[in-house]
């Protein structure tokens, strides 16, 4: 059985289970909900991987969104508040097209070197900017440079957010070379992997059609990062994956 047919059957099964009582089934509200409900993703069944794009929305975000749409792939954007403010239309489109929006600070300050009040302000201003642009608030935090300590974790907890880092980096910001970015990403790709990329790196966006096609040909389904961490049952303030030397 092909993967696609299998997924459709899985969706059909879930839909059947969730079908409300007949009296309610035909109400316009239920019909609308059925049309707009996103297909459930089960990473226990699927070979999932999450591409995550930090520091955006970058100026190439529109092209990236076109590619993701073309290949029916989902991604996660850890957004920087100052760019959410200057490019709100991309953020609105990300939410509308089913991608996940995370918080990556307002101005990319290192949270382990600034005062608690400044950390709170960086997070809150970004929450507000995303809410204003897209009508939704991020539920995950990725601090700049992936730098977190116990204080950052405590403050994330105040905001009700787990901290999500990555399992592998594309090194795109460093190489800025399409072939190198693709090669590195494929080298660190693994089931339930979380890949760090940047949508301000033109070569990342340029290589994306080829990269997505290759990942899909290797059996991966490109999903939101929350689909991958679902089974971790992360609490607010938890860090995943745990950095080396971090004891919890
Ligand atoms: Zn960053």
Between 132 and 8, name the one with better pLDDT: 132
Between 243 and 236, name the one with better pLDDT: 236
* Tokens 């990319």 belong to residue: 108
- Is residue 206 among the annotated active site residues? no
Q: Calculate how far, in angstroms, residue 228's C-alpha sits from the geometric centre of ligand 1.
A: 21
Which ranges constitute the DSSP H helices of 56-201? 61-70, 81-86, 88-96, 116-134, 150-158, 172-175, 178-188
The one catalytic residue among 54, 172, 192, 199: 54
Instruction: Write down the mean pLDDT value for the chain.
Output: 88
Determine the pLDDT at residue 245: 67
Q: Calculate how far, in angstroms, residue 70's C-alpha sits from the geometric centre of ligand 1.
A: 26
pLDDT above 80 for 12: no
Determine the pLDDT at residue 9: 36
E runs forming strands in the chain:
47-56, 76-79, 100-103, 163-164, 168-169, 193-198, 220-222, 239-240
- Is residue 54 among the annotated active site residues? yes
The class (CATH top level) of 42-240 is alpha beta
Q: Calculate how far, in angstroms, residue 66's C-alpha sits from the geometric centre of ligand 1.
A: 23
How far apart CA 167 and CA 120 sit, in angstroms, is: 26
The one catalytic residue among 99, 104, 172, 198: 198
Determine the pLDDT at residue 35: 52
Beta carbons within 8 Å of 228's beta carbon, 6+ residues apart: 43, 48, 49, 50, 192, 193, 194
Stated pTM of the model: 0.84
Task: Tell me if the bond preceding 82 is cis, omega within 30° of 0.
Answer: no
Collapsing DSSP to helix, strand or coil, 198 comes out as: strand
Exposure pattern of 11-46 as b/e (b: 16+ CB <10 Å)?
A: eeeeeeeeeeeeeeeeeeeeeeeeeeeeeebbbeeb
Determine the pLDDT at residue 242: 85
How far apart CA 148 and CA 130 sit, in angstroms, is: 22
pLDDT above 50 for 2: no
pLDDT above 60 for 119: yes
pLDDT tens, residue by residue, 161-211? 999 999 999 999 999 999 999 999 999 999 999 999 999 999 999 999 999
pLDDT above 50 for 225: yes
- Residues in the 5 Å CB sphere of ion ligand 1: 54-55, 144
Q: Residue 161, Cβ neighbours under 10 Å: how many?
A: 23
Nearest to 73 by CA among 232, 209, 218, 230: 209
Question: pLDDT band at 40, cuts 50/70/90?
Answer: confident
């Amino acid at each position: 059985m092909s993967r696609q047919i299998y997924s459709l059957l899985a969706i059909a099964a879930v839909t059947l289970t969730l079908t409300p009582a007949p009296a309610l089934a035909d109400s316009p509200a239920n019909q609308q909900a059925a049309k707009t409900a996103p297909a459930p993703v089960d990473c226990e069944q699927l070979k999932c991987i999450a591409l995550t794009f930090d520091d955006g929305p970058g100026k190439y975000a529109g092209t990236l969104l076109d590619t993701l749409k073309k290949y029916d792939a989902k991604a996660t954007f850890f957004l920087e508040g100052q760019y959410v403010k200057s490019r709100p239309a991309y953020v609105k489109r990300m939410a509308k097209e089913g991608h996940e929006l995370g918080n990556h600070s307002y101005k990319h300050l290192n949270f382990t070197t600034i005062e608690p009040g400044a950390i709170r302000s960086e997070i809150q201003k970004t929450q507000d900017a995303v809410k204003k642009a897209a009508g939704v608030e991020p539920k995950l935090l990725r601090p700049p440079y992936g730098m977190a300590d116990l204080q950052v974790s405590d403050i994330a907890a105040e905001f009700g957010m787990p901290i999500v880092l990555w399992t592998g980096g594309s090194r795109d910001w460093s190489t800025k070379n399409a072939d190198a970015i693709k090669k590195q990403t494929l080298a660190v790709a693994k089931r339930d992997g979380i890949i760090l990329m940047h949508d301000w790196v033109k070569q990342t966006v340029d290589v994306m059609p080829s990269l997505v096609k290759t990942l899909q040909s290797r059996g991966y389904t490109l999903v939101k990062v929350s689909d991958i961490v679902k089974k971790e049952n992360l609490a607010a303030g938890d860090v995943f994956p745990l950095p080396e030397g971090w004891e919890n």
